[in-house]
Structure 1
């Protein structure tokens, strides 16, 4: 399994439905689709959890970062 930790850079993001929390194809987050980017957290059984749709909440290092991140 590949694990990417990106403290001080762009948080990990995936496309998901804000209402159902289900993961969606990334195309749904572009070009006016139904999806929104979900930052941090993980995808489990087709649903996102442990992160936030608010990028700024994840940028502050609240997810998966210990110590001081770059910035």
Structure 2
């Protein structure tokens, strides 16, 4: 009887350990949350104004900083803004650096990963 209990506990520990490893691996490989914002629209009370994703998607490097795009007739300086707090149509307290957003985001992630 004691042998059955020991096996049950051992398998529970193994399965629980596998879950922790799976969580660590998926958090490192996942993409950070991002919003396309107008870099010229910062408001101290609200943050950056969120604009349509197609304003950021047209750059082949993944970042469109420094390139003006037309959005509803207005010129915007659009770029991806990562891991921001979103409130309505504004985003604040994030970063424009994708690699910084990945580095600060996951359990078990190393700080040495590079990227765009």
TM-score, with structure 2 as normaliser: 0.45
* Residue 68 of structure 1 pairs with residue 68 of structure 2: no
Unpaired segments of 5 or more residues in structure 2?
A: 1-25, 42-47, 59-66, 70-76
Instruction: Say yes or no: does 1:35 pair with 2:78.
Output: yes
Give the structure with the larger helix fraction: 2
CA RMSD of aligned residues (A): 2.3
| Bigger relative CO (Cα 8 Å, ≥ 6 apart) | 1
SS in 2 for 1:53: coil
Q: Deviations over 1:26-58 (max 9, x none)?
A: 011122633100111222131111211111111
Q: How far apart are the structure 2 equivalents of 1:18 and 1:7?
A: 28
Q: Does residue 42 of structure 2 align to residue 15 of structure 1?
A: no
- SS in structure 2 opposite 1:52? coil
